[in-house]
């Protein structure tokens, strides 16, 4: 397992903190809405750090004024995928930026088996290392 205090996947913002409460999530969404960013909810069950493209849970939410609507969608997603990773992303459409500006995990599986290290012996007895999530040994949808 990778060296990590809580033994959990750490990706995006706030991931070294205890899980965000709904009140804290609302405050973060409020901040993003104040900046005029569009917010979307995404989920996955493949926790590899290089897996940047998660599944979208509904379309990104444009033109919202209040966090309550987004929190409702987050809770819907939690209900549908209680044992998946769920993240909230904020997207800035400002010309020249046009990319995600915030990303944080709001839901994670109860049990995260973590990552193992895989050694591959190559030419001249060199060793190549890669990390491998134990969860991905199983097919999609059955991992957690």
Q: By CB under 8 A, name the binding residues for other proteins.
A: 58, 61, 63-70, 72-73
| Cβ nearer to other proteins, comparing 7 with 58 | 58
Q: Tell me the torsion sign for CA atoms 71, 28, 6, 85.
A: positive
Six-digit token pair at 123? 């030419």
How far is 65 from 27, CA to CA, in rounded Å?
13
Pair 133, 140: CB distance under 8 Å: no
- In the complex, least distance from residue 130 CB atom to other proteins, rounded to whole angstroms: 40
| Cβ nearer to other proteins, comparing 5 with 59 | 59
| Cβ nearer to other proteins, comparing 16 with 62 | 62
- In the complex, least distance from residue 37 CB atom to other proteins, rounded to whole angstroms: 16
Secondary structure of 1-50 in the HEC alphabet? CCCCCCCCCCCEECCCCCCCCHHHHHHHHHHHHHCCCEEEEEEECCCCCC
- In the complex, least distance from residue 68 CB atom to other proteins, rounded to whole angstroms: 4
- In the complex, least distance from residue 19 CB atom to other proteins, rounded to whole angstroms: 23
| Cβ nearer to other proteins, comparing 70 with 135 | 70
């Amino acid at each position: 397992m990778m060296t990590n205090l809580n033994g959990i996947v750490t990706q995006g913002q706030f991931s070294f903190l205890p899980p965000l409460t709904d009140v804290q999530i609302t405050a973060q969404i409020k901040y993003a809405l104040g900046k005029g960013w569009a917010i979307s909810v995404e989920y996955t069950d493949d926790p590899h750090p290089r897996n940047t493209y998660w599944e979208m849970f509904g379309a990104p939410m444009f033109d919202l004024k209040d966090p309550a609507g987004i929190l409702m969608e987050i809770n819907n997603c939690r209900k549908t995928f209680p044992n998946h990773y769920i993240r909230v992303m904020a997207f800035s459409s400002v010309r020249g930026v046009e990319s995600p500006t915030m990303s944080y995990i709001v839901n994670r599986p109860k049990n995260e088996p973590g990552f193992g290290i895989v050694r591959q012996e190559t030419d001249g007895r060199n060793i190549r290392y890669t990390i491998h999530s134990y969860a991905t040994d199983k097919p999609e949808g059955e991992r957690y």
